[in-house]
Amino acid sequence: MDRPVHRSCGNPHTRHEGIPRMTGLQAGLKNRHLSMIAIGGVIGAGLFVGSSSGIATAGPGILLSYALVGTLVVLVMRMLGEMSAANPNSGSFSAHADRALGRWAGFSIGWLYWFFWVVVLAVEATAGAKILEGWIPAVPQWGWALIVMVVLTATNLVSVGSYGEFEFWFAGIKVVAIGAFIVIGLLAVFGVLPGVDADQAGLSNLTDHGGFLPHGPGAILTGVLLVVFSFMGSEIATLAAGESEDPQRAVTKSTNSIIWRIAVFYLGSIFVVVALLPWDSKSIQDDGSYVAALDSLGIAHAGQIMNFIVLTSVLSCLNSGLYTASRMAFSLGERGDAPKAFARVNGRGVPMAAILASVVFGFVAVFFNYLSPDKIFLFLVNSSGAVALFVWLVICFSQLRMRKIIQAEAPEKLVVKMWLYPYLTWATAALIVFVLGYMLTDTEHDGRETVLLSLLVAAVVLVIAVVKEKAGRGRAGAAPAGEVTDKVSVS
């Protein structure tokens, strides 16, 4: 039997040609997998779970918060799409930063991103376990967390195709559910939903009860802090594209479709919620925004239906989180910024060591969630909280440099271009810095603590990166003339 064709997703410009590896990652993701990963990637569990606090903070004006963050994500994804379409890579923005800004940047943002996702594994495993324990209390919560982690680890270890298949169905359920919610909700808002008397529904909910901005314009920015992290995951499609049959086409397609995906799934569904119910309705805070909206339509078992959808989102996030963390670890290993074992794959094109290392850290974080939820685990969550904004900022600065590199070396690869370069790139970076600065003033929602702890972790990783780079230069300088080394100084 012929062995499957494998495709190396390493950066062709990588400076670590001496790293041994069995073979490259397998091109096992089909177009339908990539399409659904791209669509589902923007629908996180945070949308279903965390939107109620945003509505309570900003009222109907939360729509502007979502629109502002959505615009930010669209711009960042456009930049990332430009770089990834020109050079699809399993390390995505970390690999781009490595080349555009220097080894220190690729190392730092790569490890921070890995840290973010392995903490997410623990958060999502715990959230899923709570739902499952409510359905089958005979199994303790820690047992469910263990089962969920083991099952999805096995899925990722089998092949990239099995990850893609699981994610296709997980994301498919999310998309169908939120699509049905929007259609049913809009019919109720305009009074044409048969058999339902939604007496509270109507566009008047957007302006009554204190107006569109009941807490003033400043609440829009506070709302931004509460919703920005629910958008993390949009970039997964650019990592996964490296394992598809046509990476450039996959990246281009996902980048071009990000606008309508955010407009429909985020703005569309939140609009339905605030139009179906008054923003200050007690049920939104008590039951959650989506459950309260379904209950207002008299839909039976609304809570359990939403629990099922949230569980699906949690499993999707876990599945993608493990995949994303392992591929980032693989890319770091390829570039010599992680143990070389991370860059090795088995006969099925699966980076087993990278997956298992990510899972082990995830299991440790789950353990801390039960052992010390208010100290160690809270530190892990808060110290990874602002990583999303750090990643987006690095993407901005990488694109400013990479555009010039691509134009000089292979201008025909600029199939996706950032709009109004470089002005819009600089404006996006300034907006991200502004959001980080505003978070430092937020003590009510732990914004300041999140930024400071995240900066602390980032500083530690950056110091390690600089020390490692200097040590590498020292070894390269000490090598005898003519000796080939795999450590080359940053260009």
Write the pLDDT tens digit of every residue in 46-75. 788 778 889 998 999 999 999 999 999 999
Q: Terminal CA-to-CA distance of the chain, rounded, Å? A: 45
CB 228 within 8 A of CB 389: yes
Q: What are phi and psi of 26, to 5 degrees?
A: -85, 140
Q: What is the DSSP letter of 267?
A: I
What domains lie within the chain, and their CATH numbers? 31-468 (1.20.1740.10)
Looking at per-residue confidence, does 72 or 25 come out higher? 72
Residue-wise pLDDT tens digits, 180-215 = 999 999 999 988 887 676 778 889 999 988 999 999
Residue 182 structure tokens: 């929007």
Flag whether pLDDT at 38 surpasses 80: no
Q: In this predicted structure, what is the pLDDT of residue 257? A: 83
Residue 97 structure tokens: 């930063």
Flag whether pLDDT at 297 surpasses 70: yes
Residue 486 structure tokens: 């795999």
Flag whether pLDDT at 365 surpasses 50: yes
Q: In this predicted structure, what is the pLDDT of residue 477? A: 64
CB 348 within 8 A of CB 22: no
Flag whether pLDDT at 4 surpasses 60: no
Whole-angstrom CA distances from 184 to 195, 297, 469 are 12, 9, 56
Q: How many CB atoms lie within 10 A of CB 22?
A: 12
- Number of residues assigned to the chain: 491
Q: Which residues pair with 26 in a beta bridge?
A: 6
Q: What is the mean pLDDT of the chain?
A: 85
Residues 6 or more apart in contact with residue 329 via CB below 8 angstroms: 114, 338, 342, 351, 354, 357, 358
CB 53 within 8 A of CB 226: yes
Alpha-carbon torsion (459, 463, 466, 469), positive or negative: negative
Instruction: Please count the CA atoms within 13 angstroms of the CA of 285 that sit on its side-chain side.
Output: 10
Q: In this predicted structure, what is the pLDDT of residue 390? A: 94
Flag whether pLDDT at 486 surpasses 50: no
Residue-wise pLDDT tens digits, 234-258 = 888 888 877 887 888 888 888 888 8
Residues 6 or more apart in contact with residue 134 via CB below 8 angstroms: 307
The DSSP-derived string for 204-231 is GGGTSSS-SSTT-THHHHHHHHHHGGGG
**pLDDT band per the 50, 70, 90 thresholds, residue 22:** very low
Residue-wise pLDDT tens digits, 163-186 = 889 888 988 898 899 999 999 999
Amino acid at 60: P
Q: How many CB atoms lie within 10 A of CB 13?
A: 13
The DSSP-derived string for 362-376 is HHHHHHHHHH-TTTH
Dist. CA 4–CA 16, nearest whole Å = 26
Q: Which residues pair with 244 in a beta bridge?
A: 29
Dist. CA 149–CA 153, nearest whole Å = 6
Rounded to an integer, the average pLDDT of 121-145 is: 90
Residue 319 structure tokens: 């599945």
Instruction: Please count the CA atoms within 13 angstroms of the CA of 143 that sit on its side-chain side.
Output: 8
Dist. CA 12–CA 410, nearest whole Å = 13
Count Cβ atoms within 10 A of the Cβ of residue 284 and give its class: 0-12 exposed, 13-18 middle, 19 or more buried.
buried
CB 269 within 8 A of CB 182: yes
**Which segment, 213-227, 365-379, 396-410, is predicted with the most confidence on average?**
396-410
CB 61 within 8 A of CB 213: yes
Residue-wise pLDDT tens digits, 387-415 = 989 999 999 999 999 999 999 999 999 99
Q: What is the CA radius of gyration of the chain?
A: 23
Lowest-confidence range among 58-62, 206-210, 471-475, 481-485?
481-485
Looking at per-residue confidence, does 91 or 211 come out higher? 211
